[in-house]
């Protein structure tokens, strides 16, 4: 009797697996493999690879829900990743390509198309989504994204190993969606320089290269602060504590405006060969150091002063080296004004 029960259970399990396989195969036959661009559930996506023929490539990898990396080097912008995931699940077909436009569309997609690879977490055993066993990463979609249609309301796409391109769109969105698939690394990386609360900061050092007497370092020890002039190495006993606290709370969200690593190398080297006009160094309680070396940006706008003289330098933006001088970025004075304060700013009022 016991042996018969075991045989019955095994037979029942095999029958369930057979039904799942048949149902899966039946649903797949209803789909056209040449126009099935959308994925069903973005929560299972583990990584997305984007590349073009101009040597741009970006690997977006999920570290944890809501936290993605760019090429294993930078944090990714959550807003752009979420937009891409939304696009991956909601993209739809507007129409096939006409016979007259077919050949030119295929050639253009081959020349300028962005290759998209989407990987998801899958399971070797998945029974009605309830019993999942033996997980593995699976390449689920590979297709090419071209440019926009003439009316900018559609985007040309073609599945890999297919010669049947389609015009796609995002329901509810008026425009083309190729921008969501950019393979340029700088477009995806987070613009965050630091994001630290006051309790996470150990010290802040400001070096004024043009006026060294205004350079200082502020150390935090619990709720106490110590201020020292860098030039003389002398401690300053009296200072405005409220202004110091305001400085330490300024680093909760400190971002740059744009990454310029792909800027003309000769121009970039010319800028960074000059002395920075100030250097800001933030050290957190774990000893992690972030240094921002600021360089003046030439005034390309032609902005003039009250007498009609052209300003030599841009009054709104400056260049900076961050991440151990590896990244050349553009910053706004508006964002940094609270951090770039001279020593005299913290002195008590006379």
For the ranges 27-41, 117-131, 215-229, the one whose mean pLDDT is highest = 215-229
What's the pTM value of the predicted model, to 2 decimals?
0.75
User: Which tens digit of pLDDT belongs to each residue from 141-186?
Assistant: 999 999 999 999 999 999 998 889 999 999 999 889 999 999 999 9
**Band of residue 30 on the pLDDT scale cut at 50, 70, 90:** very low
Q: Name the residue ranges covered by the structural domains of the chain.
A: 32-188, 192-346
Question: What whole-number distance in Å separates Cα of residue 293 and Cα of residue 76?
Answer: 23
Looking at residues 287-308, what average pLDDT do you find? 90
User: What's the pLDDT at 32?
Assistant: 64
Q: Where are the beta strands (DSSP E) in the chain?
A: 45-51, 57-64, 67-70, 74-75, 92-96, 114-127, 131-148, 155-159, 166-169, 192-194, 201-208, 216-221, 224-229, 235-236, 254-255, 258-259, 278-284, 289-298, 313-322, 327-332
User: What's the pLDDT at 27?
Assistant: 37
Cβ neighbourhood burial of 343 (10 Å; 0-12, 13-18, 19+): buried
């Amino acid at each position: 009797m016991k042996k018969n029960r075991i045989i019955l259970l095994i037979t029942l399990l095999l029958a369930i697996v057979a039904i799942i396989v048949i149902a899966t195969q039946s649903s797949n036959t209803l789909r056209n493999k040449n126009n099935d661009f959308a994925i069903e559930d973005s929560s299972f996506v583990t990584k997305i690879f984007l590349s073009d023929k101009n040597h741009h490539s970006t690997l977006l990898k999920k570290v944890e829900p809501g936290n993605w990396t760019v090429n294993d080097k930078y944090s990714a912008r959550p807003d752009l990743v979420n937009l891409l995931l939304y696009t991956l699940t909601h993209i739809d077909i507007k129409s096939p390509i006409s016979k007259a436009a077919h050949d030119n569309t295929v050639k253009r997609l081959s020349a300028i198309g962005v290759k998209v690879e989407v990987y998801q977490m899958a399971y070797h055993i998945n029974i009605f989504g309830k019993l999942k066993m033996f997980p593995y990463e699976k390449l689920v979609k590979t297709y090419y994204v071209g440019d926009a249609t003439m009316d900018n309301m559609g985007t040309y796409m073609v599945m890999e190993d297919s010669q049947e391109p389609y015009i796609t769109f995002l329901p509810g969105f008026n425009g083309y969606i190729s921008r969501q698939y950019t393979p340029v690394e700088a477009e995806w990386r987070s613009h965050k320089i630091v994001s630290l609360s006051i309790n996470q900061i150990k010290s802040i050092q400001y070096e004024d290269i043009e006026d060294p007497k205004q350079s200082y370092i502020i150390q935090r020890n619990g709720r106490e602060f110590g201020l020292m002039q860098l030039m003389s190495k002398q401690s300053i006993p009296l200072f405005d504590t409220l202004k110091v606290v305001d400085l330490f709370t300024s680093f909760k969200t400190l971002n740059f405006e744009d990454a310029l690593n792909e800027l003309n190398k000769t121009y970039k080297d010319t800028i960074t060969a000059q002395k920075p006009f100030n250097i800001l160094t933030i050290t957190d309680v774990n000893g992690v150091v972030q240094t921002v070396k600021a360089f003046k940006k030439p005034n390309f706008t032609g902005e003039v002063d009250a007498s009609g003289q052209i300003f030599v330098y841009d009054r709104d933006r400056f260049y900076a080296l961050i991440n151990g001088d590896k990244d050349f970025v553009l910053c706004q004075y508006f964002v940094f004004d609270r951090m770039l304060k001279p020593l005299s700013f913290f002195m008590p009022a006379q």
